[in-house]
Structure 1
Amino acid sequence: MTRKLGTRAVALMTALTMAAPVALMPLAASAYVFNDVRIEGAQRIEPGTILSYANIARGQDVSAGELNDALQRLQNSGLFESVEVVPQGNLLVIRVAEYPTINQISFEGNRRIKDDQLAQMVQSQPRRVYQPSLAIADASGIAQAYAAQGRLAARVDPRIIRRSDNRIDLVFEIREGNVTEIERISFTGNRAFSDRRLRQVLETKQAGLLRTFIRRDTFAPERIPLDEQLLTDYYRSRGYADFRVQGVAPELARERDAFYITFNIQEGPRYRFANVNTVSEIPGVDASAFAAQNRVSRGDVYNPAVIDNTIRRMETVAIQQGLNFVNIEPRVTRNPQNQTLDLTFALTRGQRVFVERIDIEGNTTTLDEVIRRQFTVVEGDPFNPREIRNAAERIRALGYFSDAQVDSRQGSSSEQVIVDVNVEEQPTGSLSFGASYGVASGVGFNASLNEANFLGRGQSVGLTISTASDEQQASFSFAEPYFLGRDLRFGFTTWYQVTDSLNSYYDTRSVGISPSIEFPISANGRLELRYRLAKDTLLNVDRGDAEADPPRLGSSPILLREEESGGLWSSSLGYSYKYDTRITGLDPLTGYKLNFSQDYAGLGGDIEMVTTTLLAGIESRAWREEVALRAEFEAGALHPLNDYTTRITDRFRGGSKIRGFEPNGIGPRDLEAGNQDALGGNYFWAARAEAQFPIGLPEEYGITGGLFADIGSIWGLEDRVGQDGVLVDDGMHVRAAIGASIFWTTPIGPLRFNFSKAVKKMDYDDEQNFDLTISTRF
């Protein structure tokens, strides 16, 4: 139980250093002879134990120094609060006062850490003998727990309250103090990149507006080595081969409420590759096939990742040619005078070493096969250190383990190696609730249940339910990432989605299932094959009111005719090719993505058409990497087959393809109809460009600005006969919008504020001049 002391603290008798002065009566210089020893004050400790510590022999000469040694041994035993050694003629009297027993332990002044958590940290326990050294260690442990939360100014003082029967109450008085935040991170020696840009690289952050929520702005010494490595990787991937962190100086303010961290760095010159060649030092091995895999070109900026990628490709050639124990050794020669590097890939003969076995420990839930399949080698294969390192990275990337260590050691002989895999599992399931907001869709809520390592098999399952003012949906997904024991991802998704007048005068309902197979076809490319079975329904189209005075027209007859067809089944087979250079990250400044997909609907069902979409994008950094530039081009086409007429549920309907316009805000419309709903189109294209840049605020606030420009169009209908038989204009009318954005990275999710203005539009288009999007989980 916890006892709060209040004003009674002044009645405390003593503290940790309560041991009374031990006394040794004045002794003559001559030796003593003791025929008997009497022990006084011992209650719990046996006399034999005390005599063994004193180690005074009866009937023998004992000097004053030996008596003092006996006193010191008793004092240092940690068993007594006070000790006296008193010679009385031939009698030696040892008076002791034992340490009291702890009656109870309580904590005062703690709010950030609860009593039950603190109780688990301390080693002192009720009903055990009080030990001052242990109480001091407990106080230090509690202070360290507060320091881990960034409260370096926390103070913990152990106090005692005397009780009857030689008992005490042990009280830890805690002054938590404020969070010791990092007020400033600065750099010396940097010329190529600004302090702002380098701070973005670090895991440690400065304190800012959100200091109450962000815990990376508290000083953690264990993060410093990681920050040093992040800086080193950042510079070296940009050509600074000689970069190094010369020192890190964390300085604590006098008030212990703030840290100032300075990184002293040496950039060195920026190198480019000059002469690049490949040589073979193995008799009978031709270097030409290996040279063909070289991805390092003259004039390229030095990047260790590009060298590593080339070595990996050359090692693959060695495996294909059946060459074992081949080392690809990169030999770099610096030319500081012209800031270039000469690079030679040398094929050398390595030591003959084989994998004896792979031992896996620490996995209590995850099956061994889930871990083993991350290795491309098995027992008996030639040992390849690079492959072992790559397997370790793949194991960590699974996300199933809080820690994964892969090491090798000598096996039963010098030609055998044992690979040890030691993992520490972590929870892989999550139940999350969230909220979202969009100007068009309003406030929405969602709940999801996900398991990334289902039954320890590496499979993922997910259930999501979300609702907004105009849209509700539920979905279930399952994925097996290693189908049939190969790098073949099998998955399926089933969904149910309804819209309720989402910026329109009609509702839609969609229910379906889609199994898929996905596999890699290159280092950056993947191919997905899928089947989709769905039923899409258009309903509640506004029919107007002919009885009103004057009569009120409803939706276009085009939509009314589409509603009459009821729910239609779609049975389609499709594929997608995805290419993304960000997978390898060989170029730290520029990334490309490409997504091309086609779906053929007509394998049964009611819908017969081919849907084709294309998305190509590039992202790069400029102006000392302070500005992120992004550009995308997207297009799509529906091609009906066998006289099928597309419906609004099939066609492209705008959405977020062109900012500055509402969902369903552009595209062909029946201007003679009452509500002039957008009808969508069979074709669309959109080009988007965007720049994101700092706006002068401190980087730790997480606020940046942006400018964007979008242009595009939606067009094309088969059925164009609208109200009163007037043909709908379905031409390709270009729309364009420009705008500014504010990006804010917050603990509750990324926020984006878009302020836009349509500069080219049709009179009937629906503009959206402001948009706020937020999505979070808690």
Structure 2
Amino acid sequence: MMDHDGARAGRGAKTLIAAGFVGLRLGLVTAAGTLGLGVTLSAEAQSFRFQTFEVQGNTRIETASILSTLGVTPGQTISAGQLNDGFQRLQASGLFETVEIVPQGSKLLVIVNEFPTINRISIEGNARLSDDDLQTVIGSQVRRVYSPRQAESDAAAISDAYATGGRLAATVQPKIIRRSDNRVDLVFEVAEGRVSEVERLSFVGNRAYSDRRLRRVLETKQAGLFRALVGSDTFVADRVALDTQLLRDFYLSRGYADIQVLSATPELSPNRDAYFLTFRVQEGQQFRFGQAAAVSTLPEIDVAAYQSEIRIDPGDIFNPQTLERQIRRLELLATRQGLTFVRVTPQIRRNNATLTLDVDFVLERGERLFVERIDIEGNGTTLDRVIRREFDTVEGDPFNPREIRAAAERIRALGYFSEAEVTAREGTAADQVIVDVDVEEQPTGALGFGVNYSVQSGVGVSLSFSESNFLGRGQTLNFSIDTGSETGSTSLSFVEPYFLNRDLALSFSVFASESSEDTFTFNTQSVGFQTGIEFPAGEYSRLGLFYGISQDKLEARDDVELSPILLADEGKSITSFVGYTYNYNTIGVGLDPTRGVRLRFGQQFAGVGGDEEFIKTTFLAAAQRTVRNDEITLNATFEGGVINTLNDDASRQSNRFFNRPNIIRGFEAGGIGPRDLNFDDASLGGNYFVAARFEAQFPLGFIPEEYGITAATFLDVGSVWGLDDTSTTLGVGGADANVDDDFYLNSAVGVGFLWETAIGPLRFNFTRPINKRDFDVEQNFDLTIQTRF
């Protein structure tokens, strides 16, 4: 039968101590009567001298140990207070369920009832946390003495484990089941309760930015439609400090130099299953940069050279990151000039009338310190060199606190560690500094199973494996298989980001794909290999060089006649090529977080062996900015491409350009461009394409933002055109080619709905073409789903 000892565990100590006092007082009265001293104890009756001792009830604990804890020896005179102290020590030892001390003249009788040993420990009622997880927080052990105090502590530890996961209403009750031979089974009965969600995230004092916009900044999310699947809406106390810092950084990066997050107050609902989290902010005014100047009193400094390195324009929104980048640029110039221990300190002057901040970059002599060594701890998998290469400083270099902070940010940005702390301490000499790096690793690999859907390709599944820190070397390995109803592809890629111990990314990839879409009169297959290197060409730009080779096969379907334009492309061909790509991107990483640009230019030169000879050029220019206090995001993209064939050869279908959803929406892939009107072949492709896309994304005011639904309106215009040879050619059965490959500017407008669900991002596009030809193939609705498990 189940005992109610769980409840006794909390009250037992007081009850047993009281019982002990009763036993002691009865014993004293009995002793007084035996000695003929009367019921009223005289002063002499308050002390005892025992010649013999008897201990009853002990089976595991030695009698000598009990008497030693009691602190009484034969013939020793002991007061009633000292005897009570001994009783308290026995009770506090945690070995006895009850203790009774009975003086009997010159004999002291000690009666104990030992705590049982634990036969088995079990946890009942837990579903969210496994037994293995909870056993790690329990201090009680099998075959050890049962302790009510320890059992209560274990119950509190289990409750804390549930609280960390957001279940503050969880209760844990320890109980015991009596067994033979003074043994018990210890059972922890768990009532998990509901997750304590963040029911409402609100802000007080914000004027420039709405609650909706500020909620998007925080890691903590408000409970929404998929609250059962989303972990970020669970209240975690440690996350509040991070949210406070994120909120402050958000305002600082947008010029609010006086921002203060005055408080972050979580209030627990009466049912303990929800929190109301309120952030109180004091925004202040938005400041912009005024004049920026380089200042120095060091005679070896050419101030003019440093002034020319300043990249801050008056009127730019104030941003601490801009200051940091400028300081690093000036200190790097000093290093290139052979000047050591030169430090740059920004001195800021406020102009409240114009809401500008003038900055003097003061070049001064820094403290003469050197890096003695860099100590790294906590990396069980990641190699030391992967962490060390994020430092521009090595042992023996001058110590620069700003460079150390920058290295710490780069280490955190790797994504290999859940925690990364970089600190400096005094070395073995006064001019030496030891840099300590303490990291805590986190999983960097992912195995994914996906379901995807599009109107044209249908339903498909995908399997992927990715590892961003392969074998602890900081290398990236990706493998994926994607299958659809009409398409399929497989790819494997590997990237070594620091080839030859430099910021030089070496990559290898192999791929295979096939397509058998119903809208085409043929099937295609492609296999290939590509390798390349990529390196920084500027603060926001990278240059890549590559070589690749592929084999492409075009095969007519059974009982289907190909256009004469495609007859020459039927069969296999090998393309061997070299090329380069240049990328420049400030979106999300530039000086102004509210705007940015992305530029891409690349060329591919085919003819290094193989069957094809051509030059393929592509370009892209995109701009993004937010307006109306970051509520609306505007995007504009322009791109195009051209194939120039060599030696009067004609381009092949596998190398030409085709429409796709990210070129112009509202039309199927291959739905615009050159067309053989006799064969209704929509998949010829073209040697040229241009496209312009304009989109505005904005929240839907009537839908709570925690549901993750936003809307977009867009306008796409573009064209695919041009073939090398469209002269009349006899096809199978004597039919002539009748090709329209003229430039025609197609356009479409549409609205989209973006839904960040717990199972993946969904996008619904509804489009309507504005300009189209009769043979262009429309696609008025498109749904894309990408789900990862």
What residue in structure 2 maps to residue 558 of structure 1? Answer: 565
Looking at structure 1, the residues matched to 74 and 196 of structure 2 have their Cα atoms a distance apart, in angstroms, of 61
Q: CA deviation at 1:734?
A: 0.8
Question: What secondary structure sits across from 1:201 in the alignment?
Answer: coil
Looking at structure 2, the residues matched to 523 and 131 of structure 1 have their Cα atoms a distance apart, in angstroms, of 64
Task: Compare 335-344 and 185-194 and name the one that shifted more.
Answer: 335-344
Looking at structure 1, the residues matched to 515 and 6 of structure 2 have their Cα atoms a distance apart, in angstroms, of 70
Looking at structure 2, the residues matched to 573 and 628 of structure 1 have their Cα atoms a distance apart, in angstroms, of 37
What residue in structure 1 maps to residue 38 of structure 2? Answer: none
Q: Which of the residues 729, 739, 762 maps onto 1:728?
A: 739
Q: Which of the residues 324, 329, 333 maps onto 1:308?
A: 324
Question: What secondary structure sits across from 1:187 in the alignment?
Answer: strand
Q: CA deviation at 1:12?
A: 8.1
What residue in structure 1 maps to residue 52 of structure 2? Answer: 36
What residue in structure 2 maps to residue 168 of structure 1? Answer: 184
Q: Does 1:22 align with 2:19?
A: yes
Q: Which of the residues 577, 581, 593 maps onto 2:582?
A: 577
Does the C-alpha gap of structure 1 residues 726 and 463 become closer, same or farther in structure 2, counting only changes over 3 Å? closer
Question: What secondary structure sits across from 1:562 in the alignment?
Answer: coil
Q: CA deviation at 1:730?
A: 1.0
Looking at structure 2, the residues matched to 628 and 744 of structure 1 have their Cα atoms a distance apart, in angstroms, of 16
Looking at structure 1, the residues matched to 632 and 603 of structure 2 have their Cα atoms a distance apart, in angstroms, of 35
Mapping for residues 337-352 of structure 1, pairs under 5 Å = 337-352=353-368
8 Å Cα contact 2:693/2:715 also seen in 1? yes
Does the C-alpha gap of structure 1 residues 482 and 707 become closer, same or farther in structure 2, counting only changes over 3 Å? same
8 Å Cα contact 1:541/1:559 also seen in 2? no
Task: Compare 294-303 and 191-200 and name the one that shifted more.
Answer: 294-303
What residue in structure 1 maps to residue 781 of structure 2? Answer: 770
What residue in structure 1 maps to residue 389 of structure 2? Answer: 373
What residue in structure 1 maps to residue 482 of structure 2? Answer: 466
Q: Does 1:624 align with 2:621?
A: no
Does the C-alpha gap of structure 1 residues 13 and 357 become closer, same or farther in structure 2, counting only changes over 3 Å? closer
Does the C-alpha gap of structure 1 residues 313 and 12 become closer, same or farther in structure 2, counting only changes over 3 Å? closer
Q: Does 1:135 align with 2:140?
A: no
Q: Does 1:739 align with 2:739?
A: no
Task: Compare 689-698 and 449-458 and name the one that shifted more.
Answer: 449-458
Does the C-alpha gap of structure 1 residues 12 and 706 become closer, same or farther in structure 2, counting only changes over 3 Å? closer
**2:501 corresponds to which letter in structure 1?**
G
Q: Does 1:255 align with 2:271?
A: yes
Q: CA deviation at 1:61?
A: 3.0
Question: What secondary structure sits across from 2:263 in the alignment?
Answer: strand
**1:601 corresponds to which letter in structure 2?**
A
Does the C-alpha gap of structure 1 residues 13 and 248 become closer, same or farther in structure 2, counting only changes over 3 Å? closer
Does the C-alpha gap of structure 1 residues 368 and 433 become closer, same or farther in structure 2, counting only changes over 3 Å? same
Mapping for residues 517-532 of structure 1, pairs under 5 Å = 517-532=533-548
8 Å Cα contact 2:4/2:176 also seen in 1? no
Looking at structure 1, the residues matched to 332 and 307 of structure 2 have their Cα atoms a distance apart, in angstroms, of 12
Looking at structure 1, the residues matched to 127 and 382 of structure 2 have their Cα atoms a distance apart, in angstroms, of 38
Question: What secondary structure sits across from 2:136 in the alignment?
Answer: helix
TM-score by length of 2: 0.93
**1:623 corresponds to which letter in structure 2?**
R
Q: CA deviation at 1:296?
A: 2.0
Q: CA deviation at 1:81?
A: 1.1
8 Å Cα contact 1:158/1:172 also seen in 2? yes
What residue in structure 2 maps to residue 668 of structure 1? Answer: 674
Looking at structure 1, the residues matched to 454 and 353 of structure 2 have their Cα atoms a distance apart, in angstroms, of 57
Task: Compare 23-32 and 467-476 and name the one that shifted more.
Answer: 23-32
8 Å Cα contact 1:13/1:160 also seen in 2? no
Looking at structure 2, the residues matched to 457 and 99 of structure 1 have their Cα atoms a distance apart, in angstroms, of 54
Does the C-alpha gap of structure 1 residues 78 and 337 become closer, same or farther in structure 2, counting only changes over 3 Å? farther
Q: Which of the residues 695, 713, 717 maps onto 1:711?
A: 717
Task: Compare 612-621 and 356-365 and name the one that shifted more.
Answer: 356-365
Q: CA deviation at 1:14?
A: 4.4
Looking at structure 2, the residues matched to 270 and 194 of structure 1 have their Cα atoms a distance apart, in angstroms, of 16
Looking at structure 2, the residues matched to 703 and 518 of structure 1 have their Cα atoms a distance apart, in angstroms, of 37
Q: Does 1:680 align with 2:685?
A: yes
Mapping for residues 650-669 of structure 1, pairs under 5 Å = 650-656=655-661, 657-669=663-675
Looking at structure 1, the residues matched to 609 and 262 of structure 2 have their Cα atoms a distance apart, in angstroms, of 69
Task: Compare 366-375 and 421-430 and name the one that shifted more.
Answer: 421-430
Q: CA deviation at 1:583?
A: 6.3
Looking at structure 2, the residues matched to 361 and 150 of structure 1 have their Cα atoms a distance apart, in angstroms, of 31
What residue in structure 1 maps to residue 612 of structure 2? Answer: 607
Looking at structure 2, the residues matched to 183 and 326 of structure 1 have their Cα atoms a distance apart, in angstroms, of 52
Looking at structure 2, the residues matched to 161 and 728 of structure 1 have their Cα atoms a distance apart, in angstroms, of 89
Looking at structure 2, the residues matched to 275 and 607 of structure 1 have their Cα atoms a distance apart, in angstroms, of 57
Looking at structure 2, the residues matched to 612 and 179 of structure 1 have their Cα atoms a distance apart, in angstroms, of 55
Does the C-alpha gap of structure 1 residues 335 and 472 become closer, same or farther in structure 2, counting only changes over 3 Å? same
**1:147 corresponds to which letter in structure 2?**
A
**CA offset digits 1:556-612 (Å, max 9, x no partner):** 22122321xx21111111110000013633211001101100111122221111101
What residue in structure 1 maps to residue 695 of structure 2? Answer: 690
TM-score by length of 1: 0.95
Q: CA deviation at 1:151?
A: 1.1
8 Å Cα contact 1:157/1:172 also seen in 2? yes
**1:262 corresponds to which letter in structure 2?**
T
What residue in structure 2 maps to residue 549 of structure 1? Answer: none
What residue in structure 1 maps to residue 649 of structure 2? Answer: 644
**CA offset digits 1:171-215 (Å, max 9, x no partner):** 111111111111101011111100110001000001010101101
**1:392 corresponds to which letter in structure 2?**
A
Q: CA deviation at 1:15?
A: 4.3
Q: CA RMSD in A?
A: 1.8
8 Å Cα contact 2:564/2:737 also seen in 1? no
Q: Which of the residues 420, 425, 428 maps onto 2:444?
A: 428
Question: What secondary structure sits across from 1:38 in the alignment?
Answer: strand
Task: Compare 708-717 and 455-464 and name the one that shifted more.
Answer: 455-464
Q: Unaligned regions of 5+ residues in structure 1, if any?
A: 545-553
8 Å Cα contact 2:6/2:174 also seen in 1? no
What residue in structure 1 maps to residue 350 of structure 2? Answer: 334
8 Å Cα contact 1:15/1:160 also seen in 2? no
Q: Unaligned regions of 5+ residues in structure 2, if any?
A: 29-40
Looking at structure 2, the residues matched to 503 and 315 of structure 1 have their Cα atoms a distance apart, in angstroms, of 60
8 Å Cα contact 2:672/2:682 also seen in 1? no
**CA offset digits 1:650-699 (Å, max 9, x no partner):** 111111211000111111111122x4333111111010011111112111
Looking at structure 2, the residues matched to 427 and 300 of structure 1 have their Cα atoms a distance apart, in angstroms, of 40
**1:172 corresponds to which letter in structure 2?**
F
Looking at structure 2, the residues matched to 701 and 763 of structure 1 have their Cα atoms a distance apart, in angstroms, of 41
8 Å Cα contact 2:416/2:469 also seen in 1? yes
Mapping for residues 181-580 of structure 1, pairs under 5 Å = 181-501=197-517, 503-541=519-557, 544=560, 554-563=561-570, 566-580=571-585
Question: What secondary structure sits across from 1:649 in the alignment?
Answer: helix
Q: CA deviation at 1:502?
A: 5.6
**CA offset digits 1:441-497 (Å, max 9, x no partner):** 111112223332333332222222221111111122121111122111111211111
Q: CA deviation at 1:269?
A: 1.4
**1:559 corresponds to which letter in structure 2?**
L
Task: Compare 389-398 and 522-531 and name the one that shifted more.
Answer: 389-398
8 Å Cα contact 1:576/1:598 also seen in 2? yes
Does the C-alpha gap of structure 1 residues 362 and 118 become closer, same or farther in structure 2, counting only changes over 3 Å? closer
Task: Compare 591-600 and 45-54 and name the one that shifted more.
Answer: 45-54
**1:348 corresponds to which letter in structure 2?**
E
8 Å Cα contact 1:556/1:677 also seen in 2? no
Looking at structure 1, the residues matched to 89 and 412 of structure 2 have their Cα atoms a distance apart, in angstroms, of 53
Looking at structure 2, the residues matched to 329 and 579 of structure 1 have their Cα atoms a distance apart, in angstroms, of 30
Looking at structure 1, the residues matched to 9 and 660 of structure 2 have their Cα atoms a distance apart, in angstroms, of 71
Does the C-alpha gap of structure 1 residues 109 and 103 become closer, same or farther in structure 2, counting only changes over 3 Å? same
Question: What secondary structure sits across from 2:747 in the alignment?
Answer: strand
Looking at structure 2, the residues matched to 689 and 647 of structure 1 have their Cα atoms a distance apart, in angstroms, of 31
